Amino acid sequence: MRIRGFEVCKGYEDKDINLPIRKTKNSVGYDLEAAEDVVIPTIWKTVFENVKRFMLGKHEYDEIKPTLIKTGLKAYFLEDEALFLANRSSNPMKKGLILANSIGVIESDYYENPDNDGHIMYAYYNFFPVDTHIKKHDAIGQAYFQKFLVADGDNATGERKGGFGSTDEVVNKE
């Protein structure tokens, strides 16, 4: 019986994706890698362009958006568990990378959803003054499984409709 683990997502089967591992017996997190090369632009280009527009009296500004880094992976686990995505401790100092959502939370029903097959992605901002280049197979974050509890009287009946960021779009079953 399978309890929890990682699999390669649909469409990535022939893309040389490594399944995550823990590096030491006391490691909490599994190290996840980038599925492809990606450039994470510095936020400062957009910030300075927006300041320039402001100084010229313009009131339309570009959004500062995080860059999604694909892993080519999905995870399966029990319904009373979650998979948490965390930044690597070295990313802020060495690469200027901060997770856009501080910590990612993946619920069990994200696995094999119809939108993206449960594809795990990291959303990063780059605070360095230059673009950061991530190469395929670079370790980009950690993931760890954890049990969770629900409050007395909880009667959630919703079911996931989509993929990344879709818990606002649940269908209630009553």
Q: What is the C-alpha separation between 28 and 45, in angstroms, rounded?
A: 36
pLDDT of 70: 98
> Judging by DSSP bridges, how do beta strands 158-159 and 132-134 pair with one another?
unpaired
Task: Please give the chain's pLDDT, 174 residues, in tens.
Answer: 899 999 999 999 999 999 999 999 999 999 999 999 999 999 999 999 999 999 999 999 999 999 999 999 999 999 999 999 999 999 999 999 999 999 999 999 999 999 999 999 999 999 999 999 999 999 999 999 999 999 999 988 887 676 656 555 555 555
5-13+29-149 is a CATH 2.70.40.10 domain: yes
Q: What are residue 152's DSSP bridge partners?
A: none
Q: Among residues 107, 146, 99, 89, which one has the least CA distance to residue 124?
A: 99
What's the DSSP call for residue 12? -
Domain locations along the chain: 5-13+29-149
Token representation of residue 133: 């280049």
Closest of 38, 30, 137, 26 to residue 75, by C-alpha:
30
Rounded Cα distance between 17 and 47, Å, is: 35
Structure letter (DSSP) for residue 167:
G
What does the pLDDT read at residue 137? 98
Give the Cα separation of 131 and 90 in Å (integer): 17
Burial of residue 115 (CB within 10 Å: 0-12, 13-18, 19+) is middle
Q: What is the model's pLDDT at position 161?
A: 72
Residue 158: per-residue pLDDT:
81
